Structure 1
Amino acid sequence: MRKTVRHLADGREIIYFDDSAKPPPRDALDTRDLPAVAADSQIRRDPLTGEWVALAAHRQTRTYKPPADLCPLCPSKPGKPSEIPESDYDVVVFENRFPSFAQSVTGEKGTLDGRGLVPVAPGKGRCEVVCFTSDHDRSFGELSQERVRTVVDVWADRTATLSTVDGVEQVFPFENRGEEIGVTLHHPHGQIYGYPFVTPRTERMLATAAEYHAAHGRHVLGDVLAAERETGSRVIAAGEHWTAFVPPAARWPVQVLVVPHRQVPDLTGLTGAERTDFAEVYLKVLRCCDALYDRPLPYVAAWHQAPVRRGRDLSWLHLELFSVLRSKDKLKYLAGSESGMAVWVNDATPEQIAERLRAACAPR
């Protein structure tokens, strides 16, 4: 894989990752007249929960559902410049033009209104967009196994780089797919957030892992993985180095964990063989998901990685995929119990979810 770093008209970094045999030099210029990125992010900690909340009002003006011929993630064409100046690409990463967190934000740490009750700080971090292919009409599940392996290498590269960025405490690669999830750009792409704090979900998982290790001397996800591989009732796909299964306390109508058999804190710790095996197992999972309702499944695919500076010995890298679609044309809404009290009520058991997924991708 060849990596080439360039810059867009407003100074943002763009990085080309080429897996083709003889890629071009990647020297196309961004001809647009762009204003400087004006990110004004702030984070505030909720005094009742201790959780950080990001405020990024400048994102209200971000691009929203453009027509396909004006897609900003497609390669540039004559008279139609996009975020990617080249006429074609393999995988490309660039700084988000409307970031939730950025290095350019200003401000000082303090408290809201100087009262000492609500800590505030500039939302200093980094947000990147990852385009998986130049083909506007493909999906991640339609990529070749070789391309998925390239994307894994890109995720690992960006995790390593963003972990050194000033203010970043956790690196989060993810993909949102489908309008039901809230996607406004249909080109196959994901994002990477470099958070200026450790996320609430990760804090909770680290606390649970620490408690379990103190009681049993083992990692909780390692024991869950072993139990799932032994029983097999919730397993969707498995390879030499990874197993995909519906979690035993699934919250979502479709939910799958893809877990490596070896504990590593983040994507940078995966071997070449583990990265290749992930590509094979994950593509199987995505094929099952798209076959479930005989339509493209809207989903979130989220990498759970260790924080940059702490809890790394308690972290076990894994991917979580979930969907809000509970039938072909019905959504799972987060209503009173879920939104108000964070108590989830699922309309299907994990065993039923797993059986439906296995049946969907079985030979017909």
Structure 2
Amino acid sequence: MTSTINRPRLGHTAVTSTRLADGRELHYFDAGDRPASGRLTVDQRALPARSESGEIRYDALTGEWVAVAAHRQNRTHLPPADECPLCPSTQIKASEIPATNYEVAVFENRFPSLGPAPYAAPDSPAWGTREIAGGRCEVVAFTPDHDGTFAALGTRRVRTVIDAWAHRTEALSALPGVAQVFCFENRGQDIGVTLHHPHGQIYAYPYITPKAVAMAAAAGRFREENNKKQSLTAHILGKERADGSRMVLEGEFFSAYVPFAARWPLEIHLVPHRQIPDLAALDSAERDELAVLYPDLLGRLDSLYASPTPYISAWHQAPLDPSMRRDGHLHLQITSPRRAADKLKYLAGSEAAMGAFINDTTPEHVAGLLRDAPAHISAG
């Protein structure tokens, strides 16, 4: 039996925008109608000029773009807590966030894979095509506290993060050359994070990603072959809810399940019942419920074992291309390579070379474990 969700009524989020010493944008997000005082603190650091954009190269064998960002080799890597660039600045140590305190902060990555040049990928590439890597990479600091997890942020703080994602999705979608916006969190060294501080990232791609191309093609075929008005994602959600064996949570506006053909040992899809293209399209009631349901799912992952579970949390938003956006349906995909308390699944020959996944767990068993797992989240 799936869990029920109690949805609180939450307020608005205020936004304050400024720039860092090298010209990068910084946005503070505060719960309530007014921003906290002191948010326009000036960045006093003597930073070097921003590096030039990298490039994207076209792989003619697969029809995919590859970003080449050699300038990122010297980016910050697992610094000690007293040198963390995401902690608030102090009189002794200036960080990437000039304010001495904040709730949620979003800023342009100092070491971006994409951008900041406003270039779009060409429409008719061929072997040897290379272009400036347009787009934008942003960092989302979830909390000023160096230690902790997203699941323990508290309902109101999670709601502020959701509002920040929605705000940045809308803003980045309007930038010249941007084709798709992707919000995500990498959690844990086993995933490859380079900062321990709880944070996520947002990529604004100058091209449509391979996963989005594949999903859009499948959604288009479904609509044409079945003459359906509902999206493929909505159709699958209906099938999963009717079956029930892989459901984890059901709310008024969202439901979560382990997909029928899960690729990863731990995988959850969180889907809004209403077909919407992206986070910016969520209404207030949907955001309120998401602020409860999403950390609940992350808490259940951490309840499965005695140590924190590494994961990738990926928001699949519809590309900006109108033909793909028509069938797009926002959803969250949470995956973890953890297949046992002391074992990880690695992408070896079949997965890495052929893209053919072999799962060591059954979706039905994993769904049962997650349904029974306590959430262990903060309700603050």
Q: TM-score, normalised by structure 2?
A: 0.91
| Residue 121 of structure 1, CA deviation | 1.2
| Residue 217 of structure 1, CA deviation | 2.4
- Which residue identity lines up with residue 85 of structure 2 in the other structure? P
Between the aligned partners of 1:193 and 1:67, the Cα distance in structure 2 is: 26
Look up the match of 1:257.
Answer: 269
Q: Does 1:248 align with 2:260?
A: yes
Look up the match of 1:28.
Answer: 41
**Equivalent residues of 2:256, 2:271 under 8 A apart:** yes
| Residue 337 of structure 1, CA deviation | 0.4
Look up the match of 2:103.
Answer: 90
| Residue 176 of structure 1, CA deviation | 0.5
Between the aligned partners of 1:22 and 1:120, the Cα distance in structure 2 is: 43
Look up the match of 1:334.
Answer: 347
- Which residue identity lines up with residue 332 of structure 2 in the other structure? L
Partner SS, residue 211 of structure 2: helix
Look up the match of 1:13.
Answer: 25
Look up the match of 2:209.
Answer: 199
Between the aligned partners of 1:15 and 1:240, the Cα distance in structure 2 is: 31
| Residue 249 of structure 1, CA deviation | 0.2
- Which residue identity lines up with residue 279 of structure 2 in the other structure? L
Between the aligned partners of 1:160 and 1:110, the Cα distance in structure 2 is: 24
- Which residue identity lines up with residue 311 of structure 2 in the other structure? Y
Between the aligned partners of 2:295 and 2:124, the Cα distance in structure 1 is: 46
Deviations 1:88-119 (A, max 9, x none): 1011000000001112488997999xxx5232
Look up the match of 2:298.
Answer: 286
* Aligned pair partner of 2:134 in 101, 124, 149: 124
Look up the match of 2:225.
Answer: 215
Q: Does 1:184 align with 2:223?
A: no
Label 1:164 to 1:3 Cα distance change in 2 as closer, same or farther (>3 A). same
Between the aligned partners of 2:330 and 2:344, the Cα distance in structure 1 is: 29
| Residue 160 of structure 1, CA deviation | 0.5
Deviations 1:57-101 (A, max 9, x none): 001010001001110000001111000001110110000000011
| Residue 30 of structure 1, CA deviation | 1.1
Partner SS, residue 180 of structure 1: coil
**Equivalent residues of 2:41, 2:98 under 8 A apart:** yes
- Which residue identity lines up with residue 350 of structure 2 in the other structure? S
Between the aligned partners of 2:310 and 2:167, the Cα distance in structure 1 is: 27
Partner SS, residue 259 of structure 2: coil
- Which residue identity lines up with residue 288 of structure 1 in the other structure? R
* Aligned pair partner of 1:303 in 315, 323, 330: 315
Between the aligned partners of 1:39 and 1:14, the Cα distance in structure 2 is: 19
Report percent identity of matched pairs.
51
Q: Does 1:81 align with 2:94?
A: yes
Look up the match of 1:268.
Answer: 280
| Residue 273 of structure 1, CA deviation | 0.5
* Aligned pair partner of 1:323 in 336, 344, 347: 336
**Equivalent residues of 1:39, 1:99 under 8 A apart:** no
Between the aligned partners of 2:250 and 2:15, the Cα distance in structure 1 is: 31
User: What does residue range 37-186 of structure 1 map to in structure 2 within 5 Å?
Assistant: 37-104=50-117, 117-186=127-196
Q: TM-score, normalised by structure 1?
A: 0.95
Partner SS, residue 314 of structure 1: coil
Between the aligned partners of 1:28 and 1:185, the Cα distance in structure 2 is: 24
**Equivalent residues of 1:111, 1:119 under 8 A apart:** no
Look up the match of 1:347.
Answer: 360
| Residue 22 of structure 1, CA deviation | 6.8
Query: Relative contact order (alpha carbons < 8 A, sep ≥ 6): 1 or 2 greater?
Result: 2
Between the aligned partners of 1:205 and 1:339, the Cα distance in structure 2 is: 20
Between the aligned partners of 1:352 and 1:50, the Cα distance in structure 2 is: 37
Structure 2: gaps of 5 or more residues: 1-12
Between the aligned partners of 1:108 and 1:28, the Cα distance in structure 2 is: 37
- Aligned residue-pair number: 360
Structure 1: gaps of 5 or more residues: none
Label 1:110 to 1:289 Cα distance change in 2 as closer, same or farther (>3 A). closer
Between the aligned partners of 2:110 and 2:146, the Cα distance in structure 1 is: 20
| Residue 39 of structure 1, CA deviation | 3.3
Between the aligned partners of 1:210 and 1:108, the Cα distance in structure 2 is: 23
Between the aligned partners of 1:111 and 1:158, the Cα distance in structure 2 is: 29
Question: What do you get for the CA RMSD once the two structures are aligned?
Answer: 1.9
Label 1:241 to 1:109 Cα distance change in 2 as closer, same or farther (>3 A). closer
Between the aligned partners of 2:271 and 2:305, the Cα distance in structure 1 is: 24
- Which residue identity lines up with residue 180 of structure 2 in the other structure? Q
**Equivalent residues of 1:110, 1:121 under 8 A apart:** no
Between the aligned partners of 2:254 and 2:375, the Cα distance in structure 1 is: 20
